Amino acid sequence: MSDAVIQVKGLKNQFGSHVVHDNLDLTIQRGDITGIVGGSGSGKSVLMRSIIGLQRPVAGTIEMLGETVGPNGIQRGSLLSRKMGVLFQSGALLSSLTVLENIAMPLLEHTDIAKSDALRLAKTKLALVGLPAHAAGLFPSELSGGMVKRAALARALALEPELLFLDEPTAGLDPISAAAFDDLLVTLRNALGFTVFLVTHDLDTLYHSCDRVAVIAEKRIIIHDTLEQVAAFDHPWLKDYFHGPRGRAAASISRQNKER
Q: Where are the domains of the chain?
A: 1-83+201-260
Give 239's DSSP letter: H
Task: Say if CB 230 and CB 215 are below 8 A apart.
Answer: yes
- From the number of C-beta atoms within 10 Å of its C-beta (0-12, 13-18, 19+), residue 176 rates as exposed
Question: Which of 68-72, 75-79, 230-234 is predicted least confidently?
Answer: 75-79
Instruction: Specify the pairing of strand 67-68 against strand 220-225.
Output: unpaired
Averaged confidence pLDDT in the chain: 87
pLDDT at 109: 84
pLDDT at 123: 92
pLDDT confidence bin for 1, thresholds 50/70/90? very low
Interval 130-138 mean pLDDT:
91
Cβ neighbours for 9, distance < 8 A, ≥ 6 positions apart: 25, 60, 61, 62
Q: Which residues pair with 13 in a beta bridge?
A: 21
29: number of Cβ within 10 Å = 14
3-state secondary structure of 213: strand
The CATH architecture one would assign to domain 1-83+201-260 is 3-Layer(aba) Sandwich (3.40)
Cα angle, residue 180 at apex, residues 194 and 166 outer, rounded to 5° = 40
Is the pTM higher than 0.75? The answer reads yes
Is 141 or 67 the better-scoring residue by pLDDT?
Answer: 141
pLDDT confidence bin for 29, thresholds 50/70/90? very high
Q: Which helix (H) or strand (E) holds 156?
A: helix 145-156
56: number of Cβ within 10 Å = 13
Q: Which residues of 228-248 are buried (b: 16+ CB within 10 A; e: fewer)?
A: eebbeeeeebbeebbeeeebe
pLDDT confidence bin for 8, thresholds 50/70/90? very high
